[in-house]
A and B are shown apart, each in its own frame.
Chain A
């Protein structure tokens, strides 16, 4: 009998700890499929964040570091400078990347560091139980903005892709979502391009993935995918912000 759908080689057999309807499981699989397709598992290094994905090394069958909160791009830089032949990626959430780790991600991009970042934006702090994130939408209710985020008090959500795309060192910057099958296929294409950008040593690459957090949004999985499409994608438009100049 022919196997038409199986676990990617790059994923372990462990069951994930992610909540039902969470986007992380889909995004893990997409990254693993890309690593398999590029045939780079034995030379790929993951840098885990602090946040819901802190235990991603339990699920990826790769050499891995576990970073401090926000510091994954600096660790990836240290590793990549020692082993330029390896493929190094960070996997970071919105609190990790766009709040506590803003300096590290901006400067990794500015240096054109040959690393890839998978940036999972679900507009909330998941692991700590639903506090406001730097990407929380205006009006969005969280445990620290119980009446909804008010810009006069809590400022505005950060559009990371648009910001990083202004930097010369950033070679590939793209925003995708995993809210439906079509978007998932697009997301995988973007992730593949990002890894290829690193392999071709063109510069820094980042894919922002809009992802759902039904638990902390207090929605059903179906409602949450709709919220990604209608609310998040309206403020964080999908698309490619910067692509490598093909030669």
Chain B
């Protein structure tokens, strides 16, 4: 199945029963799949009038205690940023999917990774972060989607699956393993269900008193520190003896793996460090590796966004190089091989 469908089915299996979205390429298969699949399990698919409305329908459904999600692609995610900020402020759990396409503006419909800053550094106004998970295969897209619903409930924070057109469209076999414990178990006593007796519930984000608003910011900050402590995820691939390490996520990471196999065949000790959680970013893994690696090559489908986090982790202990294709162009493994060989010859 296509990565988009894998995400959609994984959401259903994770107990998500409410999807609100607006069509945009290249992620339409998510909404199309859920439009027939959710009614099968007593859920609701609703095509909203805009991404702006869709994200607030998610706000309403998540606030009512349900597992809810939306999906879109770059320009649509930009439209949702207001609502994402409100959801983060109200501490509501939900899952967002961004199948990135080339930008800025209307851009194009081909794969891109140019929304890394928007996804990991905030996107909307105010101090908050999404948890951001970046799958590099269809199977991983399914697994991370299920995980995303649990993390959202655990931290009462929106979680984003950050893919690109490739991840969404690529057809791969996907196995759905039944969850070890049934999903949707957490007690949501804050959810809107009607005020029985004097027990009122209120979901709000306005705090006119700066003393209280500061407290709210600190509470969200404390929660995110727990996220940073507990939820870092990454994959090390052939890094044990590597002195050149490629840093890449998503689609680019799997292309890098092919390049690494070829380079290893040519006797070059190259590995891959692949962030799976982009927020929280695996700073410690990069910092440790910088102690013994001479060169990092960051490969992205952006003008250089994740490289800032790599540089922050590496702290000038290793050289950090950059290679990218943008605008919907995808780097080939030949291009990556050529870059690594340049570095190995000391040419960059």
Residues of A at the B interface (CB closer than 8 Å) are 41-45, 47-48, 54-55, 57, 61-68, 71, 74-83, 86, 103-104, 106-107
Contacts and interface: CB of A to CB of B under 8 A. Distances in A.
Contact of A74 (B60, B193, B196): B60
B194 A78 contact: no
Given A63-B201, A82-B66, A107-B48, 19 more contacts: A42-B194, A42-B196, A43-B194, A44-B194, A45-B194, A54-B206, A63-B192, A64-B202, A66-B206, A77-B53, A77-B60, A81-B44, A81-B61, A82-B68, A83-B194, A104-B49, A104-B56, A107-B49, A107-B53
B67 to A, nearest CB: 10
A63 B189 CA distance: 12
B216 to A, nearest CB: 13
B20 interface: yes
B280 to A, nearest CB: 27
Of B20, B57, B192, B196, chain A has the most CB atoms within 10 Å of the CB of B192
B222 interface: no
Contacts of A107: 48-49, 53
A78 B202 contact: no
A65 B194 CA distance: 11
B150 to A, nearest CB: 19
A71 B50 CA distance: 11
Given A62-B195, A81-B18, A82-B65, A68 B56 contact: yes
29 contacts: A43-B194, A45-B192, A54-B206, A64-B203, A65-B60, A68-B56, A68-B82, A71-B83, A74-B60, A75-B56, A75-B57, A75-B60, A75-B63, A76-B60, A77-B53, A78-B58, A78-B68, A79-B63, A79-B192, A80-B60, A81-B61, A82-B18, A82-B44, A82-B60, A82-B68, A83-B64, A83-B193, A86-B194, A103-B53
B64 A41 contact: no
A79 B62 CA distance: 8
Nearest to A106: B49
A71 B204 contact: no
Going nearest first, the 8 A-B pairs with the smallest beta carbon separation are: A78-B60, A74-B56, A66-B204, A78-B61, A107-B49, A75-B60, A82-B64, A78-B57
A81 B43 CA distance: 9
B281 interface: no
Interface string B9-26: 000000000101000000
Interface string B182-200: 0000000000111111101
B243 interface: no
